[in-house]
Chain A
Amino acid sequence: MAGLYVIIAGAGKVGWNLARELLERGDEVTVIEQDRRRYLTVEQELEHAVQYGDATELWVLERAGIQRADLVVAVTGDDEDNLLICQVAKEKYLCERIIARCNNPRNLTHFKLLGIQPAVSATDLILRLIEHEVPRYGLVHLLDLPEERLEIIELVVGEGCSAAGKRVADLSLPDGALVISVLRDGSGFVPKADSVVEAGDEVLVVLDPGLEEDITSLFVANGASGSTSG
Chain B
Amino acid sequence: MFVLVVGAGRVGSSVATSALRAGHTVSVLDEDPLSHERLDVELGQSWEEAGGRFTIGTALELDALTESGIEEADVFIASTNGDNTNLVVAQLAHRRFEVPRVIARILDPRRAAWYAEQGLQTICPTQIAIEQLEKAALEPA
Instruction: Report whether chain A binds chain B.
Output: yes
Residues of chain A whose beta carbon lies under 8 Å from any beta carbon of chain B: 56-59, 78-81, 83-84, 88, 91-92, 106-107, 109-110, 113-114
- A80: B residues at CB distance < 8 A: 60, 82, 84-85, 87-88
Kindly list chain B residues whose C-beta atoms are within 8 Å of the C-beta of A91. 118
Contact residues in A for B92 (Cβ distance below 8 Å): 110, 113
Determine if B88 and A58 form an interchain contact, defined as CB atoms under 8 angstroms apart.
Answer: no
Given contacts A80-B60, A88-B114, A107-B60, contact A57 B84 (CB under 8 A): no
User: A78 contacts which chain B residues (CB < 8 A)?
Assistant: 84
Query: How many angstroms from the CA of A2 to the CA of B62 in the assembled complex?
Result: 43
> Which residues from B are CB-within-8-Å of A57?
108, 110-111
Q: How far is the CA of A143 from the CA of B135 in the complex (A)?
A: 62
| CB closest residue in chain A, given B117 | A92
Total chain B interface residues with beta-carbon distance under 8 A? 18
Contacts of B110 in A (CB 8 A): 57-59
* Cross-chain pair count, CB within 8 angstroms: 41
Cα–Cα distance between A88 and B84 once the two chains are bound (Å):
12
B99-125 vs A: 1/0 string, CB under 8 Å? 000000000101100100010000000
Q: Which residues of B contact A109 (CB under 8 A)?
A: 62
Chain A residues positioned under 8 Å from B85 (CB to CB) = 80
Give Cα A106–Cα B64 distance, bound, in whole angstroms: 13
Interface residues of chain B: helix, strand, loop or mixed (majority): helix
On B, residues with C-beta under 8 Å from A are: 60-62, 82-85, 87-88, 91-92, 95-96, 108, 110-111, 114, 118
Q: Which of A84, A107, A110, A114 contacts B84 (CB 8 A)?
A: A84
Q: Which residues from chain A contact B83 at a C-beta distance below 8 Å? A: 56
Q: Cβ of B118 and Cβ of A110 under 8 Å apart?
A: no
A selection of 29 A-B contacts at a CB cut-off of 8 Å is A56-B83, A56-B84, A56-B111, A57-B108, A57-B110, A57-B111, A58-B110, A58-B111, A58-B114, A59-B110, A78-B84, A79-B60, A80-B60, A80-B82, A80-B84, A81-B84, A84-B87, A84-B88, A88-B111, A91-B118, A92-B114, A106-B61, A107-B60, A110-B60, A110-B88, A113-B91, A113-B92, A113-B96, A114-B91
- Shortest distance in angstroms between B64's beta carbon and chain A's nearest beta carbon? 11
Which B residues lie within 8 Å of A81 (CB)?
A: 84
| Distance, CA A57 to CA B111, complexed state (A) | 8
| CA–CA, A11 and B21, complex, Å | 48
